[in-house]
Structure 1
């Protein structure tokens, strides 16, 4: 029985593009793999404490850090909702990363998390794709790819719904068709990737 660790970090519980796409991923995962387990953490509703000197000093002996690290290590796959806030990830997701990555315990390219597939739903209000004016402001995919592969040795894949603010910002109204196309593509990718991953893990 495979286990999926699902993390959401969007501030808003409703109307969140990243939450909608992660929900679609989980639904497809469960349909393909009904006997599998899904462990869920809503980092916005139940935020973790920021890393402090006591937790750093204790490392894997810190109760919370040990719990989070064990939860991550036990997962056969990880799903992260990571919307962009101020060009980067939410502070709640950063807190989880700071707590769960423990030097001398799991922070190694060939450590206990190495090879674990991680799917990140990196939603954003505008577009930061290559060739766009704000390409250089993209610090969600760049950061998560580096930290998850470089420090944990995970296998990272991204789903990127863009232009999510087109429906609420008048100046972006002309981009609504592109936003809707991006959302539809993200939902399709979520279902496809979840099914493929579930099949791969039970093969």
Structure 2
């Protein structure tokens, strides 16, 4: 039975969060295509995990909460991460979760294999950071996650991006509303399609 680990980190509820809407579309499509699978959900905004401290890092045995988080990550065949961009990078709650599950000798490093595990990142941002835009090069959200999860852990990573989410509340961005609507539609469609693809791989 395949396991989906669904992580959300947006501060906002579903109706006000681009990343939550994308992860919600993905999870619902995955559940419909793979009803025999199971889902582990973690809402890091509602229930943040603690930042690493010296006691956790130097403990002779892995503390209970860290063990629980690592075990969830290890158990998952597919990890879905909602990662809105806050001040050009990921939410601190998501960084705290990553710090807890990244453990040398357990989840990465020599002799560690996570073969078969896949990552899908649902990214959202208020503006656009594509090449040629004024903020190009300021994306320390998906770039960081791809380096850590893809390059360090050696996992296949797919990024689904929804951009220009602030057009609905920022009058100065009114002319970009059509592009924002297109991005919303494309990201939700891709989320549903990607979920079906992953479900087929895990069937």
TM-score by length of 2: 0.95
Q: Determine if contact 1:87/1:137 at 8 Å carries over to the other structure.
A: yes
Matched, 1:5 2:5: yes
Larger CA deviation: 50-59 vs 139-148 = 50-59
Runs of 4+ residues deviating >3 angstroms? none
How much has 1:115 moved relative to structure 2? 4.2
User: What's the RMSD between the two structures over aligned residues?
Assistant: 1.4
Equivalent in the alignment of 2:187: 186
CA–CA distance in 2 between the matches of 1:145 and 1:125?
A: 20
Report the Cα distance in structure 2 between the residues aligned to 1:178 and 1:94, rounded to whole angstroms: 30
CA distance in 2, matches of 1:199, 1:28: 12
Distance 1:59 1:86, change over 3 A: farther
* Unpaired stretches in structure 2, ≥5 consecutive residues: none
1:127 corresponds to:
128
1:110 CA drift (Å):
6.2
For structure 1, the residue ranges without an aligned partner over 5 or more in a row are none
1:75 aligns with 2:76: yes
Q: Which residue number in structure 1 is paired with residue 44 of structure 2? A: 43
- TM-score (structure 1 length as normaliser): 0.95
Tell me which residue corresponds to 1:61: 62
Following superposition, the deviation at residue 109 of structure 1 comes to 7.5
Distance 2:139 2:167 in 1: 18
**Size of the alignment, in residue pairs?**
202
Equivalent pair of 1:128/1:136 in contact (CA under 8 Å): yes
